[in-house]
Structure 1
Amino acid sequence: MTIHKTASILIITVFVFLGCSKSEDSAITDKTPTPTETFGQVKLQITGYSSFGSTPFTLSVLDTNGAMVKSLEDLSAVPEKIELEDGEYTAILESIRPQIITADVNLFKGVSDKFVINGESEISINMTVEKEAFKGWVEVPNVPMDARTGAASFFIDGTIYVGMGYNSARERLNDWWSYSIDNNEWIKLDDFPGEGRTYVTTLSIGSKGYFCMGNTENSENSNLESNELWEFDSQTNVWTKKSDFTGQFRDSPVAIVLDDKAYMGTGINNGITTLSDFYVYDPTVDEWSPVADVIGDPTYGFGAFSLKGNGHLLGGTINSNVRTNQHYVYNQTDNSWEELSPAPGDPRLEGVSFVINDIGYFGLGNIDNNLPASDLWRYDDGQDIWTRVTDFPGPARSTTVFGSNNDLGYYGFGITTIEFNDFYLYYPE
């Protein structure tokens, strides 16, 4: 007796939505179906798939045990048909993720309901394919200006502002640019009206950005230390000079924002004296006031973030060249500092630090022997626990720019043996 296995043709009708979840309102960019194509009795109608551009994808079919029974790789269009033996299956359509994700890449995935092939000559199933949110590091277009180090930056709403710093000729710059997350586009703004400068300390409060201190140069092209504070209005693109920082000048200070006030301090003066003093700036009255000094050894090159009403200082260097994992938290209510368990990974100087979705992140920076690091860690302040996330995928470097707007972080520029002008976003994982 001969047993004949039946093979049926699976027809997939794919509906593509651009939302990140079924609960969100979604828009189909192309609601006009492509012309119906006929292959004998097989009819296939694709709706909206062109929304995802040219991103390649895979189409897989799994049996009830999750075993792969069919896999079509590196596709650019949904195939006209798939032949399957009798059985129960699930189909999965998923974009192929490049090693380094760029902002113009579309990531998407669809999973069908279970379906049964049982001797029919053809069946149709529906699959909703949804655009996936970015996770981890995403490279955006290079900044269309000189590669540089020691630049300034801050994040206001959905726009990142960057500029100034040194180029490869060691010229101090005063150009100013903006990057729109929504438009994935850099725009040249009016130059900063003061002298070009490097290594300023930056922060943002509401629609205003601020930078303080840093180095300019005198007529002999030597470093000229500055205590100036400048305010940038993102709604008018206008710079306004505010009251100078009232402490002594310093390199490698740190800044945090608590309740719409800027707190700034620590650092090193003239490359010799490491400082512990701390100050608060109230932009509503344009005044500086001293607050409690940071506890522990005087430190420069802290990383810092503001989390749930408290300010965290991390890492930094003591005794001129000893990198640390120290971790202090500032309570503004009683103007006091507390030491917490050490930050993770190698001791480091000028670590990258920001907050996304009320979770702190810290890492990268410089470790021993002045080597740049690539590791990044997530902080659970409720349990005082750190978890390592995806390492930075680009070349490790020093003296970068970084920040966040509580939705995502950014990181770019910097130097190794060369200056960089590449730029990355970090999305929570």
Structure 2
Amino acid sequence: MQKAGIYCCILAAMLAGCNKDDSSDDENNGNWKKGYPELSGDQRAESVVFVIGDTAYLGTGINRDGEYLRDFMKFTANQGWTQIADLPEGADARSGAVAFVADGTAYVGTGQNEDGYRLNDFWAYSPLKGYWEKKAKLVDPDNAARDLSRKDAVAFAVKGKGYVATGWEQGGLNDVWQYVPADDKWYRRRSFEGAKRSEAVAFVIQDIAYLATGVNNSENKVDFWMYKADEDDWVQLRDIANTNDEEDYDNDYDIACSNAAVAVKNNKAYISTGTKGGISKQTWEYNPVTDMWAQKREFEGAARTGAVAFTLGNVIYLSTGRSSGSYFDDTYSFDPDATYDEKD
């Protein structure tokens, strides 16, 4: 695959000047705000989250007692968190699962259960129905006996079709599978062309998917890719670490991590928290027009990994996660363009 072209040199130089120390001092580099109701369920990490309309839905994960969860809650800015239907009894409680939304229906699947087994089942939830329905398992359409169980994968949706990629099952994975709701079937797509990994993030901006971060063999991955679903084509972008000795734009890049949270606002992506040696509070903004990253104000809650992020009403939220023996049920909002307010 070709390298993405070099973008706007002037913007590159401007962004390169925003080093990590500058980020913490810049009043206009974003503002985190607490004050939202705590989850109605357990403190947890390794959950899934999805958004349908003006409501976010969060569920599954693992709590501080090591119990795997199957409950779900919904969140609106006005009402906070309230319970909805749990995954049905036929669905294992799980952590490290994935979720995507296609045409107003959410699909949740994969992950690991309390016995340590990786999973390949999928369950659909529609707010109009208010209950979960069993869907096709993630299996190879050319070999139905080959299940594709995994945990810590990524998932996304483009134009009404869902995608599951990477993850871990006795080692890192790089395969990609497409789900077509009308068929209730999975189809093989071109494998991810970057390094195998788990605990990565994926996001979609204007029908283009992006895959970044993640870990394999205890090494955080620095390669960054976009996926053109219509063409089934992976294109490599600039690395997310200081690997270009000929230019300065990446001198302060320290983005590589695992188990981070990601959300999209105004056609830019925001990666926050996660693990990079230790537990991180860093927040980075990605602009696909320039293929450049800029550091924003670090997360102002407790450093954590295994959190989730989502966007509602053009506001980014980050919730849950863990740090050592602490598990969280708090929720913060983030405005990347706001002036910092130390009282929030």
SS of residue paired to 1:276: coil
**Aligned match of 1:300:** 198
What is the Cα deviation at residue 333 of structure 1? 2.6
1:251-273, Cα deviation, whole Å (9 max, x unpaired) = 22111211121111111212xx2
**Aligned match of 2:62:** 166
**Aligned match of 1:364:** 273
Matches within 5 A, 1:396-411: 396-405=303-312, 407-411=314-318
SS of residue paired to 1:224: coil
Question: Which residue, 104, 109, 119 being the options, matches 1:226?
Answer: 119
**Aligned match of 2:334:** 426
Asked if the contact 1:358/1:406 (under 8 Å) is kept, the reply is: no
Separation of aligned partners in 1, 2:215 and 2:118: 21
Query: In the alignment, residue 298 of structure 2 is paired with which amino acid?
Result: D
Question: Which residue, 62, 69, 72 being the options, matches 1:176?
Answer: 72
Matches within 5 A, 1:9-408: 136-139=31-34, 140-181=36-77, 183-193=78-88, 194-217=91-114, 222-247=115-140, 248-270=148-170, 273-318=171-216, 320-343=217-240, 344-368=253-277, 371-405=278-312, 407-408=314-315
Separation of aligned partners in 2, 1:296 and 1:177: 35
Separation of aligned partners in 2, 1:296 and 1:175: 34
1:122-162, Cα deviation, whole Å (9 max, x unpaired) = xxxxxxxxxxxxx6323211113221122222122221111
What is the Cα deviation at residue 329 of structure 1? 0.8
Greater RCO (CA < 8 Å, at least 6 residues apart):
2
**Matched positions, count:** 285
CA separation of 1:146 and 1:250: change in aligned 2, threshold 3 A: same
What is the Cα deviation at residue 406 of structure 1? 7.4
TM-score (norm 2): 0.78
Query: In the alignment, residue 355 of structure 1 is paired with which amino acid?
Result: V
Higher alpha-carbon Rg: 1
**Aligned match of 1:125:** none
Asked if the contact 1:353/1:363 (under 8 Å) is kept, the reply is: yes
Query: In the alignment, residue 240 of structure 1 is paired with which amino acid?
Result: E
1:317-346, Cα deviation, whole Å (9 max, x unpaired) = 23x111122101111232111111012424
Asked if the contact 1:259/1:309 (under 8 Å) is kept, the reply is: yes
1:22-72, Cα deviation, whole Å (9 max, x unpaired) = xxxxxxxxxxxxxxxxxxxxxxxxxxxxxxxxxxxxxxxxxxxxxxxxxxx
Separation of aligned partners in 1, 2:120 and 2:289: 37
1:284-326, Cα deviation, whole Å (9 max, x unpaired) = 22111011111132222221111122111111123x1111221
CA separation of 1:206 and 1:309: change in aligned 2, threshold 3 A: same
1:377-405, Cα deviation, whole Å (9 max, x unpaired) = 11221111212222110001111122235
Structure 1: runs of 5 or more not aligned? 1-134
CA separation of 1:265 and 1:235: change in aligned 2, threshold 3 A: same
CA separation of 1:240 and 1:174: change in aligned 2, threshold 3 A: same
CA separation of 1:138 and 1:209: change in aligned 2, threshold 3 A: farther
Identity of aligned residues (%): 24
Separation of aligned partners in 1, 2:50 and 2:128: 14
Superposition RMSD in Å: 1.8
Separation of aligned partners in 1, 2:265 and 2:102: 16
SS of residue paired to 1:267: coil
Asked if the contact 1:304/1:354 (under 8 Å) is kept, the reply is: no
Q: Whose strand fraction is larger, Structure 1's or Structure 2's?
A: 1
Query: In the alignment, residue 83 of structure 2 is paired with which amino acid?
Result: K
Separation of aligned partners in 1, 2:65 and 2:265: 36
Separation of aligned partners in 1, 2:156 and 2:83: 28
Separation of aligned partners in 1, 2:269 and 2:48: 21
Separation of aligned partners in 2, 1:188 and 1:333: 37
Asked if the contact 1:316/1:326 (under 8 Å) is kept, the reply is: no
CA separation of 1:195 and 1:315: change in aligned 2, threshold 3 A: closer
What is the Cα deviation at residue 425 of structure 1? 2.4
Query: In the alignment, residue 166 of structure 1 is paired with which amino acid?
Result: I
Q: Detail structure 1 runs of 4+ shifted over 6 Å in the superposition.
A: none
Asked if the contact 1:200/1:215 (under 8 Å) is kept, the reply is: yes
CA separation of 1:204 and 1:138: change in aligned 2, threshold 3 A: farther
Query: In the alignment, residue 404 of structure 1 is paired with which amino acid?
Result: T
What is the Cα deviation at residue 230 of structure 1? 0.7
Asked if the contact 1:355/1:406 (under 8 Å) is kept, the reply is: no
Separation of aligned partners in 2, 1:415 and 1:377: 20
Separation of aligned partners in 2, 1:424 and 1:189: 21
